[in-house]
A = this chain, B = another copy of it.
């Protein structure tokens, strides 16, 4: 029984108030769930892409899930895709409907639906060439959330002279948030944060070896940073991209 039906019955004198109150109370689980569902719709509206983590999924199952999501949302981002998985996807979708980002091992499958443009601008920097994959995962997420992205890779501390012109370019373009991917000692976000007046998100990458390897030194270094930056988990390109886009879209919306 739906809420309106209950109310109708009261109006019609078919149900007394106590029974109705009780009925509505027992509905409460569903109410809660509805409340949450509205929330999940809200997520769609705000442009956080329907994303599928391919890692560990059977290729056939993956195709199934992707199909449903495309039917429902028009586009779907698939991250951490294996060679076997992308092959399977390719044999199930038109090549025109697959945007494959090899460095990020991520794909966007669509049914022709275009990605909205929010007007938000996200800048993405990476310290070395080995950080590019994770940075590109952030890039593709921010793009799917409607942001324009601007990237500058391989501008790490070892060759810091490569950084300054890029910062200038970012300032000129007017970025709303900056993601800085860095492995090894993870210094770059601290430096960038001192050079540009927008929120900087540190994205530690699982490079490095020995003590503090696999991104641990980078993560700790960013958490201890004397500058004002916030951090996501090691290799969490998706989170960094979505968080930066969330900021950029908020600013873009306010601009309008």
Contacts and interface: CB of A to CB of B under 8 A. Distances in A.
Interface in A177-207: 184-187, 190-191, 194-195, 197-199, 201, 204, 206
Contact of A130 (B56, B130, B161, B218): B56
Contacts of A11: 10-11, 13, 17
Contact of A31 (B32, B40, B157): B32
Contact of A242 (B7, B56, B228): B228
A198 B215 CA distance: 28
Interface stretch (A83-91, A105-113, A162-170): A162-170
Given A11-B11, A217-B220, A246 B201 contact: no
Interface in A1-48: 3-4, 7-8, 10-11, 13, 17, 20-21, 24-25, 28-37, 39-40, 42-43, 46, 48
A161 B29 CA distance: 9
Interface SS of chain A: helix, strand, loop or mixed?
helix
Interface residues of A, number: 98
B165 A33 contact: yes
